[in-house]
Amino acid sequence: MNKVEELIKKLCPQGVKFIELEEIAKIKHGKDYKKLGKGAIPVYGSGGIMKYVDTYSYNKPTVLIPRKGTITNIFYLETPFWNVDTIYHTEIDDKKIIPKYFYYYMKTVDLEALDTGSGRPSLTMQILNKLKIPVPPLPIQEEIIKILDNFAELEAELEAELEARKKQYEHYKEEILTFEDDVEWKPMGEVGQFVRGNGLPKTDFTETGIGCIHYGQIYTYYGTYTDKTKSFVSLETAKKLQKVQKNDLIITNTSENIEDVCKAVVWLGDKEIVTGGHASIFKHKQNPKYLAYYTQTRMFFAEKKKLAKGTKVTDVSAKDLAKIKIPIPSIKEQERIVAILDKFDALVNDISEGLPAEITARRKQYEYYREKLLTFNEVEA
């Protein structure tokens, strides 16, 4: 029996009172911040911190609950802040409920089920006020907070380590892909052949069929390489599209920003797939992962930036891509570089191993215990 169970058995063996939110906290609207001066006080909206100002609207422990927009974003604050009209703050009666316990419980509430918006998600004060909150005795609340804080701290430590590893990885990738004059530099058009894609709107996607990679998925879904596709098209549609074979690179020609244009993903699957417009297939005889990793370097970024065209939409054509010079060491050296970078890539990006997998496992464990700790038998108030 853990300490929470012992306290429940001692302090409320018959169950816990469930109290409507309006009896334990007053929901308050936010205000416009545009006339405030610059400072160190964070301004919160439903998406998080928007700006910093010199005045605060509230300065006690509170839970911020979105009114419109990203209604699943719940924030707990103990320091001064200003909130705008897209997010409520709460004046909590801490003699009945500890603010952080209230925060942890609100994280378990399915706020999307309470949405009343016809377009943009919306939570009304009237509906929130009637939410029934389990309010066990304060010693039980304190013990639950202690346990959940430990989980949150562990997750934060892992995320901090992941961020540090990512920076280390980026630094080492730049270092290992920086070459002296003893390596031959060739235009990409001499290293391989570019085949421009065509067609493939998302409306062509099917549940099953021939695997396909849409250009937009390259910078929103895929990493450096893959052997599985997220989407499929029918055989008839596939016949009209450009074919991708194993070890080909698919490179985006169009994006909304310079960072994502020319992002590459290597196809490592055995079956032929297809791709569409705004992307080019690069066919070559080099190590495919080596080429993809090089497109992630600062040197490649500088070259593509020179060739990028457009303002609202950024484009680098296959013809211009072919002009970019890249270093071509021996295949053996390419394989050595790839073996090292693959280990770093798995550590910081692979959701099945490394730090991302550990963070996911800890998050699931935390959510499981949070639900378990915050589930009570109800007694009449």
Handedness of CA 103, 83, 61, 54 (dihedral sign): positive
CATH level 3 topology of 184-328:
Adenine-n6-DNA-methyltransferase TaqI; Chain A, domain 2 (3.90.220)
Of 5-14, 62-71, 201-210, give the lowest mean pLDDT range. Answer: 5-14
Amino acid identity, position 63: V
Distance CA 75, CA 62 (A): 8
Distance CA 227, CA 19 (A): 52
Instruction: Tally helices (H) and strands (E) across the chain.
Output: 12, 23
Neighbouring residues of 44: CB distance < 8 A, sequence distance ≥ 6: 30, 50, 64, 75, 77, 81, 82, 83, 84, 87
Q: What is the DSSP letter of 22?
A: G
CB 250 within 8 A of CB 265: yes
| Residue 14 β-bridge partners | none
Whether residue 350 is predicted with pLDDT greater than 80 in this model: the reply is no
Name the 3-class secondary structure at 242.
strand
pLDDT (tens digit, 9 = 90+) per residue, 113-122? 998 877 788 8
Give ranges for CATH 3.90.220.20 in the chain. 16-135, 184-328
Whether residue 381 is predicted with pLDDT greater than 60 in this model: the reply is no
CATH number for 16-135 (one of 3.40.50.300, 3.30.1280.10, 3.90.1330.10, 3.90.220.20): it is 3.90.220.20
CB 27 within 8 A of CB 88: yes
pLDDT score at 376: 86
